[in-house]
Chains A and B, each alone.
Chain A
């Protein structure tokens, strides 16, 4: 038996964990068909861990949905498969290539894969009849997210209306939906980047190797270090060189930059981000750089 503290105090990380587990159980109890949106990144891995704890020793009572951009890091897909196999959950893959082939989204050659994810995701939610989709969004990530509810209502077009959100009080969540609508659920809303890392360290759970320091052939683009890959052809003037790097986020390989780092353990990463001066998105996400409201606009359309 594990003894709890004599003064009945829970550390803030234990409080966050308890709150997230409460959210998972609430959704499983009240929604007909939930699904967990899994990117393979550290935030969605923390979500999976919390879901595992919420229903243990029963299996997680909902499937996992991944949008296959065709531009995912192979290391991320490997980690995804390990988690899915260990937990015995169903994996639903929605592929952008299939969505393009079936005319669900249109590849005009100008729209980034990141944008095409939106239509692919919404189509997968609609086709499978999912009524609640867990996402790993955190309020500390970005200004538009700071105002998002834990239960974030989406209309029948999958859109978010930031000016018309339901009030959310105490730990009483309102999951009412009309036909065709769905709810995005953000169980780790109140976690910060540091909390996520502390939790990964404490739980000793597997995350993709690209988060740790490694040698990689990279080139500089728009002030970011990008991975050399046939999927992302070099532009004139760009030079490839080998550097010691790691990734702070896991996104589309053509848009996600890495940072120079020698941090090869979770503890070293925690030390590194404790003194970092750039947000994880500002440092390494090309998709958030286009305008001040880039995230708000994508979220309104139905982004994660």
Chain B
């Protein structure tokens, strides 16, 4: 057996959406099983639980439904993270529930995903739910989408059924931002086109699901042009050996930083040059997303947490007026004039809701301009005014400098997720 070296593998984070009925848990169970990521004791536990519930098959969904209440109700409530690896790639699955009342969980899972996997039941075709999943993945700018047409075994592996769903979905997807789409006919239960190529669908010449997951090109998804470095923490050792050391620690959010680069520190607007970049006890010649490094500047300028280092001629616009799509995540609705805490990169401020422009119907893409509030799991376009300028980019350009969360100041709970359209 060849040893998988995780020191060389790359990483794909993907989010799955769908309900138990679509066979999502069975599919994840199969990916884990066929990539040998399930251990014997986990499988045994699932087998014995299935037996004690009187099932005549092993319910692979029991592998992913981790909380007692979920097992009792037989549904996935929360985002669960799963891990598996093949020789070249490690995968992190954000397994999210599909029902409309859990839209916020799906938004959460999609926020960090490189790829979204939407399941449809071949017998049902596209449903309101599968359209909604595609809309959310598109809103969250997940760059790759796979539509897995599942349960092909129950429609006699019919090409006609597949083509119909494929065409219908492609048409729908033209209204969305989906740069890369793959439609794969599978049977999670029988294993067709999941890991092994199906012998029942010779008419299909595309990749198996696993082959696609292993090979989809994600390296170009990052923004390597627009340098963005939100300062997270100032490293000052105050020791004899490192008496004058003053470094700005953070994670590169965009572009490539190099020693010698002329940079601007926002919001002060002071300029300097990068003198060196530290990665632990070594200096590096370049830093790019998502590296966590420590940047040093030639001049002794005032830099602190919440500031951003960018290029002199390519910097985000500091702004207190934010236009964003917001997914609302709590039962008390969002209303105009409401005040909230906002966290954007490493900067925290307060925000006032100036206007709710429209509520987006995620099933039909209809913009409802009548309703002036957002209920739980609803998504809408909102205007905010912040107490201090945020250093932001459009979410379509950078998912890190274009996103924020809203926090209820009384309860401390995260109540909203925002994607910036533009800063004025």
Q: Which residues of A approach B to under 8 Å, CB–CB?
A: 1-4, 7-19, 21-22, 25-26, 28-29, 53-59, 139-140, 143-147, 162-163, 165-172, 174, 176-178, 189-190, 192, 194-195, 198, 202, 270-271, 274-279, 282-283, 292-293, 296
Interface size bucket, B side? Answer: 35 or more
In the complex the two chains form, is A4's CB within 8 Å of B81's CB?
Answer: no
Question: Residue-by-residue, is B287-304 near A (CB-CB < 8 Å gives 1, otherwise 0)?
Answer: 110111000000000000
Most buried by B among A2, A146, A271, A293: A146
If the complex has contacts A9-B10, A25-B292, A169-B108, are A2 and B279 also in contact, measured as CB distance less than 8 A? Answer: yes
A131 to chain B, nearest CB (A): 12
Residues in chain B near residue A194, CB distance under 8 A:
4, 6, 85
Residues in chain B near residue A283, CB distance under 8 A:
41
In the complex the two chains form, is B3's CB within 8 Å of A29's CB?
Answer: no
A54 to chain B, nearest CB (A): 7
Question: What are 19 A-B residue pairs whose CB atoms fall within 8 Å in the complex?
Answer: A2-B283, A2-B284, A4-B284, A12-B90, A15-B290, A18-B292, A22-B250, A25-B292, A29-B232, A59-B237, A147-B80, A147-B81, A163-B69, A178-B412, A190-B83, A274-B1, A276-B39, A279-B41, A296-B67
A145 (CB) vs chain B CBs: closest residue: B66
Would you call B78 an interface residue if the criterion is a C-beta within 8 Å of the partner chain's C-beta atoms? yes
Residues in chain B near residue A28, CB distance under 8 A:
233
Contacting residue for B232 out of A10, A22, A177, CB 8 A: A22
Contacting residue for B3 out of A166, A169, A270, CB 8 A: A270
Residues in chain B near residue A170, CB distance under 8 A:
111-112, 399-400, 403, 405
A8 (CB) vs chain B CBs: closest residue: B288
In the complex the two chains form, is B42's CB within 8 Å of A279's CB?
Answer: yes
In the complex the two chains form, is B236's CB within 8 Å of A58's CB?
Answer: yes
A186 to chain B, nearest CB (A): 11
Residues in chain A near residue B222, CB distance under 8 A:
8
A295 (CB) vs chain B CBs: closest residue: B66
The 7 A-B pairs at the shortest CB distance, nearest first, are namely A176-B412, A282-B41, A143-B66, A12-B11, A58-B237, A21-B292, A169-B111
Residues in chain A near residue B279, CB distance under 8 A:
2
Would you call B201 an interface residue if the criterion is a C-beta within 8 Å of the partner chain's C-beta atoms? no
In the complex the two chains form, is A57's CB within 8 Å of B241's CB?
Answer: yes
In the complex the two chains form, is B6's CB within 8 Å of A13's CB?
Answer: yes
B334 to chain A, nearest CB (A): 14
B216 to chain A, nearest CB (A): 14
Residues in chain A near residue B107, CB distance under 8 A:
167, 169
If the complex has contacts A4-B286, A147-B79, A163-B77, are A168 and B3 also in contact, measured as CB distance less than 8 A? Answer: no
B221 to chain A, nearest CB (A): 11
Would you call B134 an interface residue if the criterion is a C-beta within 8 Å of the partner chain's C-beta atoms? no
B402 to chain A, nearest CB (A): 10
B109 (CB) vs chain A CBs: closest residue: A169
